[in-house]
Each structure stands twice: as structure tokens, then as C-alpha cells.
Amino acid sequence: MHNILHFYNTNKKGLLFSVLLSLLYVLPIILANIYYIDDMGRIMHGYSWTTADGRIITSFIMRLLSLSPYIVINLYPYYTIVSAIILGITGYLLCYLLGLEKTKSIKLTSLFLIINPFYLSNLVFKYDCLPMSLSICILVIPFFFVNRSSSLFILITLVCSYICFYLYQPSVTGLFVIGSFYMFQYCKQGKLKQVILFSSKLISATIGSFILWKISIYLLGIDLWGRGQLSFINPEFFLIIKNQWLKLMDLIKSLSISYLIATSLFLILFIFAFIRFLKKLDIKKAIVAIVILFFLIVSTFAINFVTENSPLPRTQTAYGFIFFIFASFFVELPKKFTKLYSLSFIFVIFYSFLLSSLFGQTLKNQEEYNQFIISQVSPHLLKKDNPQLHIIGNIGIAPRNKMMMQFYPILKKFTPIYNNIDFVALHDFDKFDLISKEFGKTFNNRDLVIKNLYNYPIIDSNKFYILRTKENIFIVDFDKNYK
């Protein structure tokens, strides 16, 4: 406790800066106040699906904070606020561990965790954002014990990664990203055997925690609904890897030229610093350092290839860690570069705050557009008892979002533009209690209804959709299929 108080007293200025800027970063999301699909289901029905994802601790935390063993309650915006605080503090702790900006009390690099552009899609979840942030925070704990006994480090790493699996599985790969910093340090010191030993500790502890997690999931009788299936046990492994690679590249490209411009100075300085780092090593050490760099990059995106799940922005939690590792090489730069690399941090941070602002706007614009469409359809639904609704096509991008999404395509990946998946689209109608709660029956009838589309008379048509109905079945056709 004394050490914690001493750390706080000597670093409170930097901690306060990191926390305040983190809170400012999530402000547009808080002001938008938009419910994602899972959030909508929970606010309407109080259920928690996180157990089906194998995230038992997440379910426990949500029910504990709801003061109920049966339902989960929305404590928005407090979950988002606490998540921002956790990430701000965790980012500062990482700076402290890795020795970033040692001479500065205010560390710009402490924001790298929360300003991970992909992580915006995590922060927007009203319920899950808290356990997701906790899963990142807990990964930092083992590295406070790096210089202790090997058995203690392995044990703590195993426990923390085991807990992480129960909070949010994709975060686990962040262990290897952080661990690469220590591998580079061992390489620099000429301790090449230590590099192998340390990586073995991380890998063995993580595999051990994964096995324990799988065993406990099996013993508890939890059905994961096929989620998280390991790709390398699939006979079509190479095809899966190819498809995952293409999808990942599409996701990265969606960051657009603006992100490349914002990060270009930072990346150029890293390349320059890494080359200077390599020049200080002999050939053998330099080769090992390059291998570690490859390990670092692979670890950052490993979650996209380990499982069969499609690469999503919200699963790229390890991406924020890589900027800490890159920044750790800036000590290799001449002192005259100090202001330049501080400027590179500012460029990255500015872009991130800009993206957060745009994201908040697109969420609000899309929500208003969705509600406008609903307002056109709802008078017809209200005329029937227990109406069943089917959606064809895509509701489309809100007009006010088109320009922003053209120049910042990543926003398309974040913003819920509901498509022809009924389960997703129907929730917007469900929240107004406009449609039948017999979702299962609605889904089962979908193929038959769509097959006989033209047997349903048109009762309304406009520039946005065609509305068809017969008895209590309604079809909103955004593709505007005429016979």
C-alpha cells in the first residue's frame, strides 16, 4: 500500500492528465447515447449473452453491478466513464513499465491504449465496454513481476490470462505484444537464450490458461454456439487463413489515407530508431531482433487467424499496445529529435480525437435516420395485432453520414447500418413494442415469405422502400423489388 501511495504521489499529475484526456476522448460516444444490437436486447429484456461467449466473469460483474442474479441493468454512462478511467490509468502504467517519456510528468504515450482507432467500436457498447477494458488492464499485471522468479511470473501470467479469457478473449494476444518489449531488451543485452526462455514462459502460460478455460467451459456445460473455433484444426485451414487475411486487409484499408498521414511521422521515426537499434547489434542479435519484430506484428493481429471468426474492429484490442512498443525505440533517436517525436504523438492523438468526434456524429445521424424510417412504417404495423416483420435489403447510410464515411471508411465498420439480417433490424422496431415477440417463428418463416414475395400486395411505396403485407405479415423491401 505504501508503494502504491508513493507511486500516486509522484505521478499524480501524469495520471490526472491521462484520465482527463481519456474521459474527453469518450465524450462524443457518451453524448451520442446510441444502443448497439446487444445493448438493445439487454435494455429490453435484461438478458446477458456473455455466458454463451464463455465470459463468465463478465456475466458475474454485470449481474453484481445490477444487484440482481437474473437480469443486467444499464448503468450508462458510468460504465463508459469507468472504462475510460481504467484505460487511462493502464496506459500510464504501461508507460511507467516500459520507461516511456521518463523525464516527462505528462506522458502523451499514455493515451495510446484508448485511442486505438478500432477500440471505438468497443467503447460504444454500454454493457460490455467495462469488462473489455478490464481485460486489457489485467494483462499489464504480470509484467510487474518480470524480474521475480520464473515460477511466480508464469503463475501470475497464467492466472491473469485465465481471467482475461473469462472477460474478453481477443485481448489475450496483448500479452505477447507487451512481452516483445522485454524480448528486445534481452536481445540488446545479448541474452539471446533469455529471449527464447521468456517467450516460452508467455506461450506456455497462455496455452495453459486456454486449456483450463476450455476445460471449465466444458465442465460447466456452456455451449459457445460454435464461436471461437480454432482455425488450425479445420481441414480448410489455408483457405480460412487466406479469407481472414483478405478481410483483415479490408479492415486496415478502411482506416484510409488520413490515418496514414497522421501516423506517418511516428512510423518514420520508429523505422529510423529501429535501424539505429540494429546497427548497435552484431549480425546474430540483429537477426533475432528482426524475428522479434515479426513476432510483435503477428501477435498484434493473431486473433484474426487463430479463430474462424471474421476480423472485426472490436477484436483488435492488441493493436493499441504496438504503439507503446514502437515508441520505446525512440530512446535510440538523437536528443534533437525529442520535439519531433512529441509532435508525432500529437498527430496520432489529434487524428484519434477527430475520429471519435466523427464517430459520435455518425452514430447520432444514423440513429435519427433509422427512426425516420421506422416512423414511416409504424402506422401500418399498429393496425395489426402481433405483426411479423421481415426486412429485405439495407436501410442505407444516413444522408448526413455519406461524406464522412467516404473520407473515413472505418466509420462504416463501426456504425450499425442494419441490413437484411432480421434479428438485427427488428430490434429497432422491437424497442417501440411494434412487432411480435415470437422472433423464432418470424425467422423460421422468413425463407418462405421471401420466396412468395410477390404474393404480398404493396400497401406503401416511396424513395426508401416498398412495404408489402398480407394478414399480419409485413415486408419492408429496401431493394424495392417490383414484379
Sheet holding 458-461, edge to edge: 388-392, 473-477, 466-470, 458-461
Instruction: From first to last of the 483 residues of the chain, give the pLDDT tens digit.
Output: 667 777 777 888 989 999 999 999 999 999 998 877 677 767 766 665 555 677 888 888 888 888 877 777 888 899 999 999 999 999 999 999 999 988 888 889 999 999 999 999 999 988 889 999 999 999 999 999 998 888 999 999 999 999 999 999 899 999 999 999 999 999 999 999 999 999 999 999 999 999 999 898 888 877 765 565 666 667 777 888 888 889 889 999 999 899 999 999 999 999 999 999 999 999 999 999 999 999 999 999 988 888 777 778 888 999 999 999 999 999 999 988 888 989 999 999 999 999 999 999 999 998 888 888 888 888 888 888 778 888 888 788 889 999 999 999 999 888 765 444 444 455 555 555 555 455 444 556 777 888 888 888 999 998 889 899 988 888 888 888 766
Cell readout for 15 is 495520471
416: preceding bond cis by omega (within 30 degrees): no
The pTM of this model reads 0.89
**pLDDT for residue 427:** 55
Task: Report d(CA 346, CA 306) in Å as an integer.
Answer: 34
Round to whole Å and give the CA distance between 34 and 416: 10
Residue 435's H or E segment, with its range, is none
Q: What angle do CA 84, 89, 92 make, to 5 degrees?
A: 125
pLDDT at 226: 57
In a 3-state reduction of DSSP, which class is residue 97? helix
Nearest alpha carbon to residue 42 among 74, 84, 89, 2: 74
Element (H, E) at 409: none
Structure confidence at residue 416 (pLDDT): 62
Q: What is the pLDDT of residue 60?
A: 84
Contact predicate 228/222, CB 8 Å: no
Spatial separation of the C-alpha atoms in residues 133 and 301, rounded to whole Å: 18
Task: Report the alpha-carbon distance of residue 4 to residue 139 in Å, rounded.
Answer: 18
> What pLDDT, on the 0 to 100 scale, is given for residue 171?
93
Alpha-carbon distance of 66 to 304, in angstroms, equals 33
Three-state SS for 390? strand
pLDDT of residue 433: 52
Which residues have a Cβ under 8 Å from the Cβ of 55 and sit 6 or more positions away?
A: 131, 166, 167, 168, 169
Report how far residue 229's alpha carbon sits from residue 247's, in angstroms, rounded to the nearest whole number. Answer: 17
pLDDT of residue 370: 83
